[in-house]
Amino acid sequence: MNPIASPSSSPADHSEPASSSLEGRVAIVTGAGSRTADIGNGRAAAILLARRGARVLLLDIELDAARATEQTITAEGGQAMALACDVSQAEACREAVQAAVRAWGRVDILVNNVGIGGPAGNAVDLDEQEWDRALRINVTSMMLMAKHAIPEMRKVGRGAIVNIASVAGLMGGTPALLYPTSKGAVVNMTRAMAAHHGTEGIRVNCVAPGMVYTPMVAGRMTPEVREERRKRSLLQTEGSGWDVGHAVAYLASDEARWVTGVVLPVDAGATAGKAPSPGLTPDKAEAKAG
């Protein structure tokens, strides 16, 4: 005899494969601009969500940067709206979510992309005020955006949140203390949010970019450092904001309908290990035993 399903359970739907389309959905992307005309993680994610059919609210503290992303999306026939927003401020986050609701009636997707490098230095010599400011931008902003977006997701019965962390939050070796600390916090905040809201149909996942070459880092390195970064992965190829954006678009779509609480490194294998070490000659004892 087959067990009777409880009223709260629902059978898996295997009738057809999940769709990558985001038609009819509304997404909010923080840090959706870029420091230059090139493609950063937020700009790439916003463009790719729009290409899948989502209407996208583009938040950035620099309005002109968000408007440049908006122009790219609308030139391709997509729908987007740029808005200046300091996501470290609670009221600004609330207003941003309400702007999306006023424009399009709902919120389905939130991409928490805003982040800064923060103060240099270790625990002994870093600036305490800059530490507090950077934590608010890198971590608290994601909580604030989720605080106001989740009630709107509840109204439509589902949602997808994608938080952007970094491989620096998964492994050691970063010179400054603030950046890996804040990104590690994003990793476990993602897992906690996934546990809190899974039964509401709200999925929460995290993308951890590796040594991608984006406008945020382009002006802060020499060609030699850029080459060293490329070699720190198993593929030994350079990534871009597009690589991160594609991961975000997947996690936001129904293709990932059964994926939550995941931390997805997009890092050319950097966190999987180092390139193979030189092989050793056969052990003499093993050779004799053979």
Measured between alpha carbons, how far is 195 from 204 in angstroms, rounded to an integer?
9
Specify the amino acid at residue 3.
Answer: P
Measured between alpha carbons, how far is 59 from 56 in angstroms, rounded to an integer?
9
CB 203 within 8 A of CB 194: yes
84: phi then psi, degrees, rounded to nearest 5: -70, 130
One-character DSSP codes across 54-96: -EEEEEESSHHHHHHHHHHHHHTT-EEEEEE--TTSHHHHHHH
Catalytic residue among 104, 131, 179, 250: 179
Q: 285 vs 277, 281, 288, CA distance in Å?
A: 22, 12, 5
179 catalytic? Reply is yes
Residue 178, exposed/middle/buried by CB under 10 A (0-12, 13-18, 19+)? Answer: buried
Q: Which positions are annotated as active-site residues? A: 179
